[in-house]
Structure 1
Amino acid sequence: MTPKTSESAGAKSGRARRRPTPGQITVLVLGVLGLVFIFENTKDTQIRLLIPVVTMPLWMALLGTGVIGFLCGFFSIRRRR
């Protein structure tokens, strides 16, 4: 019988630790900066949604636009694979 090491135990369970790539770190940093920018802009603003004019906090408009952009990018990349 051979003793189990942490490497062999991790390889069997499929939970080997991977270091984040420079691209992943860049995306994480840009995401955090984007969230800081969004939540620093708290004043109310008027936004025209086709016909009606809506007054809402600017951070909600920025966050909503960011989420829509993320979803568009996510689904377009997912379909290419």
Structure 2
Amino acid sequence: MSTHRRTGDGGARGFLTPGKVLVLLLLAATLVFVFQNTARTEVRLLVPIVTMPLWVALLIPGVIGLLSGMYLVRRR
């Protein structure tokens, strides 16, 4: 019986896993998207017209879709 335990930290190899690399690439792409779409745009929300940056106008339905998808997956 061995008394040595592995700490599970993975050392330097475990620092850049494929999942972490993917998250970093998505974060970089998101930042590029935000900085490229800073122009103000008019959006009609039922009756009022709201002026906001384009990235915010695209973020809102994206978050709503994400939350809806999470709710539906969780219900199954």
**Shorter-chain TM-score: what band?**
0.5 to 0.7
**RMSD, aligned α-carbons:** 2.7
Identity %, equivalent residues: 49
2:46 to 44, 47, 50: 50
Partner of 1:3: 3
TM-score, normalised with respect to structure 2: 0.63
Gaps of at least 5 residues in structure 1 are 11-16
TM-score, normalised with respect to structure 1: 0.60
Gaps of at least 5 residues in structure 2 are 9-13
Q: Find the residue that maps to 2:64 and give its secondary structure.
A: helix
Partner of 1:13: none
- Aligned length in residues: 65
Q: Choose between structure 1 and 2: higher helix proportion.
A: 1
Evaluate the alpha carbon distance shift between residue 39 and residue 79 of structure 1 in structure 2; reply closer, same or farther with a 3 A threshold: farther
Q: Find the residue that maps to 1:51 and give its secondary structure.
A: coil
Evaluate the alpha carbon distance shift between residue 49 and residue 73 of structure 1 in structure 2; reply closer, same or farther with a 3 A threshold: same
